[in-house]
Each structure stands twice: as C-alpha cells, then as structure tokens.
Amino acid sequence: MKRPDAKVHDRGFGFDPDEALRHLRASDATLAKLIDRTGPFRMELKTATNLFDVLAETIVYQQLHARAAASIHGRVRALIPRTRGASAARALSALTDESLRGAGLSRSKLLALRDLALRTLDGHVPTLAEARRMDDETLIERLSEIRGIGRWSAQMLLMFRLGRPDVLPVGDYGIRKGFAVAFRKREMPVPADVEKRGERWRPFRTVASWYLWRAAETATES
C-alpha cells in the first residue's frame, strides 16, 4: 500500500501546522487549552539522507545518556569514515566484532547493527525515497523486523525525520504522562485510553503528541 505524495509545507512537514492546530482546537476542547498554555507548535525535523545512518544512530543511542551515546556513535563512525548509506553498511559489515566492541558497543547493539547492515544491503531497508512513498503502518512493520528497531523507534523516525502528520506513540511514557497532566488523570493512563481519545485528533496526531510531550515536561519541571 502506497502513501500518496503530499505537498510539503513550511519547516519540511508534509502537512500544514496551522491547519493541524485549527483541527485539534475544534475537535478537543481540553487539548485546545493545552495548546493555549503551551504556545506555538515548535517541533523541528532532523535531517535525514538515508535510513541506514538514521537507524544505526537510533540503535547506538538506545538506553544510554546522550553524551555517552554520542561518544560511542562517534567512535563507530570513525571506523567507517566518509561513508553513508549502503556504503556505510558494507563497510560496517567488513569490520570485526573486536573493533566494534572496542568502540564501546554492547553485544546486543553489535548484533543489531550487523542485522541492520545486512538488511540494508539485501534491500529490506528501503531507500529514503521509497520510505517517503510508504504508508505509516507498512513502514513501521518493515522497520520493526530489524533487530533492535521496534515500533517506537519506527514511529520516532516517521515523526521527526519524515514529518508524518498522524503518528501517536501511545506506548511512550512521556505521551501517557502528558495525557495524564492535560486531562487531569489521577493514575497513569494505559495506551488504550490515549488511543481512544486520539481518534478525535486524526489526521494530526503528531501535533497532538508534541503538545502532550510538552505537558509532561512542564509537570517534571514544576
């Protein structure tokens, strides 16, 4: 199933943020209040030139503090300098386990990177152009077959690299925490609760998610 090409609006999104805000305000009065309290939609996309590099970085950064992850990622990149995409996948495949472990990778992340490289070279990982033409669920399912890449990681790519308008990562702690804050829930909501309310926000659940994250941050700061 292919996703129709969408007009690319300002800031690289494949949708109009102003239209999204109008829709969310009209469809959910409580979310409208959160939008008013938070202010303008300031989500920014991260540059992506190919999926191998994006997913490799995702794997390295998992469950690590940003500074430590950046250091390890830098050492891994230093082993395959001046390469990107399929060329980087090929170069990584040629490295020994010892050199990759020496860069600071755990065994699980080493195996995940090797699987990613293999699946990039055999065509399982789509090109960026192919990914842009795929619908959300098809791309999520495809990427989730890669070791170390789950549904959440694929959703983050859809939101922050591809600028998709209608992604709601209900399993994300920050989303659930922000939902509890915005909707004044005494207990942490289960994903199904967020999913049900999120039906009102289609087709702009990405924008709603960004505001829920901001609500969670505000609660943490207070």
10, 53, 97, 172: the active-site residue? 172
User: DSSP alpha helices (H): ranges in the chain?
Assistant: 17-27, 29-38, 51-61, 66-79, 85-94, 97-102, 107-121, 128-133, 136-144, 151-160, 173-182, 191-198, 205-221
Tokens of residue 79, six digits = 């082993």
Q: To 5 degrees, how large is the angle CA 107–CA 108–CA 109? A: 90
Side-chain-side CA neighbours of 38 within 13 Å: the count stands at 27
Active site residue 97: no
CA distances from 13 to 17, 47, 203 (A): 8, 12, 14
48-58 as b/e, with b when 16 or more CB fall inside 10 Å? bebbbbbbbbb
Catalytic residues: 172
